[in-house]
Amino acid sequence: MKTQSLGITDIRVTRLGYGAMRIAGGWDKAKVDAAAIERGIRSLESAVEAGYNFIDHADIYGDTMSETIHGLALDRHPDWRDKLVVGTKCGIRFDDEPPGTPHRYDFSGEHIRWSIDESLKRLKLERVDLYQLHRPDWLADPDEIAAALVDIHQAGKVRYFGVSNFRPSLVAAVQSALPFPLVSNQVQISLLRLDAFEDGTLDQCLEKKMTPMAWSPLAEGRLAAAFDDKVPLPQSEHHLAAVARLRPVLADVAQAYGMTPLAIVLAWLMRHPSKIIPLYGSP
């Protein structure tokens, strides 16, 4: 698989990233049994065999179990430590963490410092290559965030930092407090979700040489549904109409290039000069 630089860094990542959100099979870790763990490990093995070298995690994926499965896979494949580029995220807290608190986004310095240690334990790594702030905390203090990121960087726990789902103004605010550059912004981008083209996100990535990563590049499976009878079609009238308009166009373009429609969907994203990395994972 072809590779590209991750932002302005010297890290080379594959043009497609492997999204590990679903490798645990669900969001309740109490239900992730030995069979589910084995399926998750096989999913990662298949991704590596297919040529992916960038694995995208978050501490909440699978209620922490996606990172745990990655760590168990490393026990079988110790060479992955040098072969794979691993990213994860922090900042989303579930209900009752700690007890009596609501679901929320938390970029406090205390939570960032605690989260990276917990992720490293689960991943069985001494450091991650990319650490991203997951979803905007409305009470985020750029100076407090910067102090925490500097601490964990100096401690050798993270090589580079990025953000996820950030509006350009918040990226700028956080960047203004940091002594090193943010190298990525992971946002939802697809043929059915064009906000990043219109709200300045991709313009900022071009300006700052940040790598945009597209989560849900198939629009949560809606674009797959257009060409696979086994995938349920979207229920909303808006998305049904959009898929209906796209289907013949994608079919024609795919035929012209001798490719599948879904390959065209991903190639359309990758054509942008910001070098979008679609995150393509297990269903």
Active site residues: 61
Q: Tokens standing for 199?
A: 């709200």
Q: What is the DSSP letter of 106?
A: -
Q: Which of 7, 22, 87, 80 is nearest to 54 (CA)?
A: 87
Amino acid at 231: V
Whole-number Å distance between alpha carbons of 200 and 193: 14
| Cβ-based neighbours of 22, under 8 Å, separated by 6 or more | 61, 62, 66, 281, 282, 283
Q: Give the DSSP H/E element, type plus range, for residue 76.
A: helix 65-76
Contact between 80 and 69 under an 8 Å Cβ cutoff? The reply is no
